[in-house]
Structure 1
């Protein structure tokens, strides 16, 4: 059996999943007794899995999420008004497929950023492109892009992103150029992609935050029409997590170093 040329061909064709699966089959004599269709199916399944994993890695890298959070780790026990029934339609990703928006508001420490990143992570797993940006960083990138000639390219990237996460919304009053930039971003994305807003500022104060009544009306009409809303409440989750953090033994002192795990909420 001329297996090495076959393996070389699979690698040359960049069928890495099939290459690895065939190499594994060659070390497992039991697979030789399987019908050809079954062995071929196993190779194809491995190739699909490999490509799905590579795509997920690319999406997560491009998303630049602030924390690695997963929807499976959402803490529903903390009294902040977060219910499984309300989260189910959001974790399904249907709202992103329909280009709807999501507004998460609540006091500091209630888990807005963590929850936004968990939904972003879930969207990547569902095959959507995601981009996380703090609003001040968004305005800074747009300002620089206008100066170096990359504005059109950046706006094109923002428009094509399936889910744009804007964190720290409402931290500072907007300037006139920032209002115009935001209007362009929201207008370009309206009906084409979903925008997730995470903010300490209640929605009823967003109009004053944006300023310039006409522009504010236009932006909020596009953002809030048919948007999902999550209003969190309660004390900071960091307070409940602090006593647990204080009991953690320094791994450097004990010499027990472990691989970092995805951040759990709180």
Structure 2
């Protein structure tokens, strides 16, 4: 069966995310758009995942815990996990590896932590769009050790992508799936970057605003809707905790 997914969505925790990207608004918009599964992947943090997962459970939407990590090479990596606990463990590691640069709310926006009622319960003080001290290789090792899957984000973009910043995808990472942005068709992207043809791909919205969340337009074929099936497709033989 084919299931409609969007595996790269930001909440109001990301400083570049609109403050309307609350747990309930994200889940309800995803349901209105007919999505079967989403992942919330804020910049360098998992602090809003507890609330988002709670809302998703109540509303009947499957949500994959995730983080979009910005490595020391300024490469964005989508890290997806089977459990909230694994995502929160990586969150703790990343936070300790971020530089002590405070967020300037007037410049970058607030970094809001919310509960399942969309109430603001805190803020993250460090600037989350900084590069952490972890390398691409470090992130893969850490996330994989927590049973997670790493997907190089928006590999077709000229900034913050593994292809732009490293010039290639290191074979040692054993990447199977990459993420393409939705501004161009896969055919155009593959023509521009022929070496990407060797990888499977997902297409995600990278939504920072509610209206940018994907419609029923990007699908993953699975026997049935589950984390196990999704992870087996994205990265077969991945460690299961």
Higher strand share: 2
Q: Same fold (TM over 0.5)?
A: no
Higher helix share: 1
Q: Structure 2 length as normaliser, TM-score?
A: 0.31
Which structure has the larger Rg?
Answer: 1
